[in-house]
Amino acid sequence: MLNTAGRSAYDENHELFREQVRKFFDAKIHPNLDRWEEAGIVDRSAWNDCGEAGLLCPTVPEEYGGLGLDFGYNAVVGEELAYTGSAIGITLQSDIIADYILHYGSEEQKREWLPRMISGEVVTAIAMTEPGTGSDLQGVKTTARKDGNHYVINGSKTYITNGQHADLIIVVAKTDPEQGAKGISLILVEADREGFARGRNLDKIGQHSGDTSELFFNDVRVPTTHCLGEEGRGFAYLMNQLPQERLSIAIGAQAAAQRAFDVGVAYVKERKAFGKSVFDFQNTRFVLADLATKLQVGWAHLDWALKRHIAGDLTAVEASAAKLWHTELQGEVCDAALQLHGGAGYMNEYPIARLWRDARVSRIYGGTSEIMKEVIGRSL
């Protein structure tokens, strides 16, 4: 169990909520982890279960069916999910997409989609990355050409989280290819539109139960009222939302790092070598002491970042630094904990193997570590 004693970002109500989250995960997520890993995807019904339990989009105001809570409640879900080791994409829906619709959507769009996102009836995705475009979103090739009162969308996207289950996709597309970043718009596309197709559920190194897909748009027609916010403002919207997205990734990375440390400690205390436990070797204790120190610093920093974000003060540079530091720490802790398992760490039957595999992508998605350094460096 994740130890939250002494945390400064949460109050009593957050912790009461955390207990409910843990009970739900114990009943609905833990028993299915291995089956979902083998299947390569979580059950669609798991989304409805999460919605029924009140885990989806807790910051959405009550007028749209939400709880109207602060981002700390999202963070509680993110921490507990990462500590559990599940790759279900609910934090994408709650931490990222709900805010796009809430901040930039029309009143009609909010009332159409937010209540169903909260209930789990609708699963969402955001389609940014393309086969030839990753962190440089100005280079997207997907187009949304106006034809009367419709957009006609053509292009392809890849590495899209929730792509197989998604009922609604925010598509990053060029509405004016001649304008560069100023020609990018965000278009809401329903998955039942003619011309839309899902590709394969991608075969990844880790996060095997995570739904990650290719998406194709072949003359997909949607009304111009499906534009999210103003036409041509999509790139600005993407940049505005990056702090919360990167903080969300940092939250998951820190919690997953703690889980890897905890399973490492448990293993070396049980494993015997040369007549004593592996934990009794000085090298083992020194490795764990170093990791424990970095984790302590990590939790303090995460609480600082959370409080700043809830107050509306976390900057894009600070969020980028958080994403960089916590994901790099996750990689370090998972690798060290696997090493302490010896040969057992290379066996998929041990939790550390999954934690180690799943950790690798956190230094890539949401902006690579190199991009984070570039963002931070430009601010100096």
- Mean per-residue pLDDT pooled into runs of 10, the chain (380 residues): 92 97 97 96 97 97 96 98 96 97 97 98 96 76 96 97 97 93 96 97 95 97 98 94 95 98 97 92 97 98 98 96 98 98 96 98 95 96
DSSP summary character for residue 67: -
**According to CATH, where is 1.10.540.10 located in the chain?**
12-122
What is residue 41's DSSP assignment? S
CATH code of the domain made up of 236-378: 1.20.140.10
- pLDDT for position 139: 80
pLDDT at position 135 is 67
End-to-end CA, the chain? 39
Of the candidates 217, 201, 196, the one whose C-alpha atom is nearest the C-alpha of residue 141 is: 217
Q: What is the pLDDT of residue 157?
A: 96
Fold of 12-122: Butyryl-Coa Dehydrogenase, subunit A; domain 1 (1.10.540)
Could you give the 3-state DSSP secondary structure of residue 126?
strand
The predicted pLDDT at position 134 comes to: 66
State the Cα–Cα distance between residues 19 and 55, nearest whole angstrom: 12
Is the distance from CB of 376 to CB of 321 less than 8 angstroms?
Answer: yes
Cite the active site residues.
245
| Rounded Cα–Cα distance for residues 20 and 343 (Å) | 37
Taking the whole predicted model, whether its pTM rises above 0.85 is answered as yes
Q: What is the pLDDT of residue 137?
A: 74
Do residues 227 and 186 touch, judged by C-beta distance below 8 A? yes
Q: State the fold for domain 125-231.
A: Butyryl-CoA Dehydrogenase, subunit A; domain 2 (2.40.110)
At residue 132, the pLDDT reads 79
Q: Where in the chain is the domain with CATH 2.40.110.10?
A: 125-231
CATH 1.20.140.10 residue ranges of the chain are 236-378
User: Which candidate, 290, 326, 295, 313, places its Cα nearest to that of 78?
Assistant: 326
